[in-house]
Amino acid sequence: MRRVSIDDLKAMKQRGEKIAMLTAYDYPTARLLDEAGVPIILVGDSLGMVVLGYSSTLPVTMADMLHHVAAVVRGTQRTHVVADMPFMSYQASSEDALRNAGRFLQEAGAQSVKLEGGVSVAETVRRLVEVGIPVMGHIGLTPQSLNQFGGYKIQGKTPAAAVKLLNDAMALEQAGAYAVVLETIPAPLGKLVSERLSIPTIGIGAGPYCDGQVQVLHDMLGLHPDFVPKHAKQYAHLAEEIGRAAREYLTEIREGRFPTERESFMMGPEGEAVLAELSGLV
């Protein structure tokens, strides 16, 4: 079975076919998404918040990402797996970026990497692409720049900010990126950028006009009901279901209703005879 390639994704844009991308962080989830036909899985550094319990993505390390990317790759056969490059794995130098991006492909088995930034990282993107590492860009609200933005705020709202974002998008395309994530920007700006670029745009909080959409799986499945981002839609409410199942299990344990004979292993006549003999010796 052939994996979805970057050429397949570009062709989807040309055909006007919308692209669906979801995050995943482990083997069983990746397997389910792969079997469902999701063309792209992003192993996002969002795992820091939704899996590891950090308050932001900044503490996530290369070791964390390599571990989770490898697990997702093992769970997939057809899906294109994108590895998110964590904070300070590419910002210090192009050499760091090459080394770390190469590890995602060589050690973890990813098909491409994603990094944040526009004009400022264009040369790094170009170098990665030149050595055969496909790159997905990410502009708009870039979570690794949280402290610079002063929080999770909508980007591109002023004319100057919109022009900068468009320039960032075009710089990434010119550098060889095969797609660009647009996060938390006004929908009309998402539409303009999508029309200007020949490569796919993947929106998250960027309106319906992007070539594709990405959602954090835990938001979509309702696993963190205390906070649901405005751009997220819950297609399930698994937090409620998991809580219900745990409470039912707890009740059955306390009342002695689990396990029953159905969940227990029995012995044949010979084994019961041995037990009877042992009982007599004790």
Q: What is the pLDDT of residue 271?
A: 79
Q: Which CATH architecture group holds 6-236?
A: Alpha-Beta Barrel (3.20)
pLDDT digits (tens, 9 = 90+) for 79-114: 999 999 999 999 999 999 999 999 999 999 999 999
Work out the number of other CB atoms within 10 angstroms of the CB of residue 277: 9
Question: Residue ranges of the domains in the chain?
Answer: 6-236, 241-281
Cis amide linkage into residue 259, ω under 30° from 0: yes
Residue 225 has pLDDT above 60, yes or no: yes
* Candidate from 46-55, 104-113, 155-164, 219-228 with smallest mean pLDDT: 219-228
Rounded to 10 degrees, the C-alpha dihedral 161/17/237/249 comes to -130
Which band of pLDDT confidence, cut at 50, 70 and 90, is reported for residue 282?
Answer: low
Nearest-CA neighbor of 186 among 200, 216, 166?
Answer: 166
> What is the length of the chain?
282
Which band of pLDDT confidence, cut at 50, 70 and 90, is reported for residue 153?
Answer: confident
Q: What is the pLDDT of residue 277?
A: 82
CA separation (Å) from 2 to 19, 68, 77, 102? Answer: 18, 22, 7, 21
Q: What is the pLDDT of residue 1?
A: 79
* pTM score of the predicted model: 0.94
Q: Return the active site residues.
A: 183
- Tokens 């503490």 appear where? 59
Strand ranges (DSSP E) for 155-280?
Answer: 179-183, 201-204, 212-215
Nearest-CA neighbor of 89 among 61, 69, 67, 56?
Answer: 61
* Cα-Cα end-to-end distance for the chain: 60
Work out the number of other CB atoms within 10 angstroms of the CB of residue 226: 5
